[in-house]
Amino acid sequence: MSLDRREFLRASALAVAGVPLLKSGLGTVPQEKKLGFALVGLGSLSTNQIAPALMKTKNCRLAGIVTGTPAKAAAWKAKYNIPDTSIYNYDTIESIARNADVDVVYVVTPNALHARDVIKAAKAGKHVLCEKPMEVSTAQCEAMIAACRKAGKQLAIGYRCQFDPTHLECFRLAREKVLGDVRLIDAAFGFPAGDPGQWRLNAALSGGGPMMDVGIYALQSACLLTGESPVSVSATTTKTDPVKFRSVEETMTFDLKFPGGVIAHCSTSYKVPGLNRFTVHADRGTFGMEPAYNYGGNRAWRSDNVPFTTPPVDQFAMEMDDFANCIINGKPTRVPGEQGLRDVKIMMAAYESARVGRVISLV
């Protein structure tokens, strides 16, 4: 991945100044050297998770905002002491190019707007962190990757679980066959969707229902536990409330077949409460997490009762610190746009499978 020379010079300058280079999110840089993040879209996730997490990071700081709502701009300005020169709306976002205080743009808008915002950020010469799902079509994902590559900037997807030590320990148990070869994975994430007017139920903005929103967590778990990408997908959708769910699926199950022989059975729903787990069935035992996908308070277990000793973390703070470290050290992110594109490809194939009623090959 080609990276801006400025980033390498910045890393070198820190080293020359006696500041240790960052390793695995453990290092801390001086306040003035922290990478500036600008948040695009000040909705629920930005307000309740990302901005508070930014305050806990070691290597990042909140440097700017992009919002279409003047009242939000005023409230954020007051709360986080953001200068007027670092407050943008969707029409002025391009001028962020002239703001040296902003190193990274974090896109937190509805799914079908990600390409619009990521491409503008890349053209403005910024690294980009984009929330999941990456976009609502593979063509949009490819355009985002191309824009960041052309700008020589990194593109990461907000797959927060990949920065949670408990999830990472589960991936290790599976891949190192600690309880034997993994044969079956069962993964599920869903919740009853409330407000019928929300963008998540409007396919034009969401690209789909629970699959795009939270089924993607089950999909990610299956890929990360196996360390593989699936070779085929078979899916079924169902709808019991065709008014509320007129443009998206209400519930979906999807089976993924992996090249090493593992099958993952995944479920997602906007109707059913209590779907929040993964279970890994291996030759000598089982392990998993339930709840698995909350922002905090998840619980991991093993059938041999060996306790998990992984610490609780703020997943978003870990994710942003890791991206900052990758940028400063010129290392590729573990959650690149290419991974987001792969997942959108699989989700689109799952929708096709549900539509045509047969297994769809992914190879």
Q: Which residues bind ligand NAD (CB under 6 A)?
A: 41-46, 68, 108-111, 113, 131-132, 158, 160, 199, 205, 213
- Catalytic entry in 217, 270, 293, 351: 217
The answer to whether the bond into 230 is cis (omega within 30° of 0) is: no
Q: Which two tokens stand for residue 66?
A: 């992009």
Any catalytic annotation for residue 217? yes
Any catalytic annotation for residue 132? yes
Q: Give the nearer residue to ligand NAD in terms of CB position, either 14 or 335.
A: 335
Contact 244, 271 (CB under 8 A): no
**Least distance between ligand NAD and beta carbon 132 (Å):** 6
Torsion of CA 76, 78, 82, 88, to 10 degrees: 50
- Residues 6 or more apart whose CB falls under 8 angstroms from that of 189 comprise 210, 214, 215, 217, 218, 268, 275, 276, 292, 293
Contact 183, 284 (CB under 8 A): no
Pairing of strands 35-40, 104-107: parallel
Q: Give the nearer residue to ligand NAD in terms of CB position, either 67 or 232.
A: 67
**Least distance between ligand NAD and beta carbon 260 (Å):** 28
DSSP letter (8 states) at residue 273: S
CA distances from 132 to 15, 83, 185, 217, 339 (A): 34, 29, 22, 9, 11
**Least distance between ligand NAD and beta carbon 157 (Å):** 9
Q: Give the nearer residue to ligand NAD in terms of CB position, either 232 or 298.
A: 298
Q: Give the nearer residue to ligand NAD in terms of CB position, either 102 or 108.
A: 108
**Least distance between ligand NAD and beta carbon 34 (Å):** 22
Residue nearest to ligand NAD (CB): 43
Q: Give the nearer residue to ligand NAD in terms of CB position, either 131 or 343.
A: 131
Distance between CA atoms of 212 and 235, rounded to whole angstroms? 14
Q: Give the nearer residue to ligand NAD in terms of CB position, either 68 or 259.
A: 68
**Least distance between ligand NAD and beta carbon 169 (Å):** 20
- Catalytic entry in 132, 270, 293, 351: 132
Helices then strands, counting H and E runs in the chain, come out as 12, 14
Name the residue with tokens 């001086």: 30
Closest to 212 in 3D by CA, of 348, 50, 35, 57: 348
Catalytic sites, residue numbers: 132, 217
